[in-house]
Amino acid sequence: MDLALFDLDNTLLAGDSDFEWAQYLISRGVLDREVYEARNLAFFEQYKAGTLDIHEFLDFQLKPLSRHPRHELDAWHADFMATRILPLVTAKARQLVRRHIEAGALAAIVTATNSFVTAPIAREFGITHLVATEPEQAEGAFTGNVQGVPCFREGKIARVDGWLAGLGHAMGDFARSWFYSDSLNDLPLLGRVTDPVAVDPDDTLAQHARQLGWPIISLR
């Protein structure tokens, strides 16, 4: 059995679910546009530049979840999926995932975006396993805090290793392991697999991929 890992934002999706979720809440008036839109844009630029403080960002991202009951959040997310996410899902991305699953690979989405936002997206792709940043919950409600290690940069390695260990596996058990990503922030995990693939990469990752002979593909 092989291992196929997929980054989500700007890789399987032709856009960023983190960014779009905040913009969606702003569009509904749940978050104040004047206060939140500039911060959302600033965090997005920091992520692309590789300078994001993940804990500062998660405080921004997760706190709104703690202010609303789960049934209300779930209703918003269903509309978010239909209006913001499905238009970002390309046929090429679906085909790539399907090819690995049909070949019998153990497949997972590995994303810094929290699991509340991303679990329905993983299901849309037919991927059973999700390795994501986990929002803390108490009695079924979100607390606004993060649980465990954020699934970001080196944290992705820790979270993938923990997930595999829970299945009785380790990275070295797989003859071939793929990781598909667009971002310089994923260089640590890309360096751990046998088959790193740059997908519509940012400039830093594209340069790195060319130097090391990694494939560069587009799913757009």
User: Which residues participate in catalysis according to the annotation?
Assistant: 7, 9
Rounded to 5 degrees, φ, ψ at 110 are -120, 110
CA 28 to CA 76: how far, in whole Å? 9
CA 214 to CA 210: how far, in whole Å? 6
- Of the candidates 145, 118, 142, the one whose C-alpha atom is nearest the C-alpha of residue 69 is 142
Question: What's the distance, Cα to Cα, between the start and end of the chain in Å?
Answer: 28
Three-class DSSP labels, 73-114: HHHHHHHHHHHHHHHHECHHHHHHHHHHHHCCCEEEEEEEEE
Q: What is the DSSP letter of 122?
A: H
41 Cβ neighbours under 8 A, 6+ residues apart: none
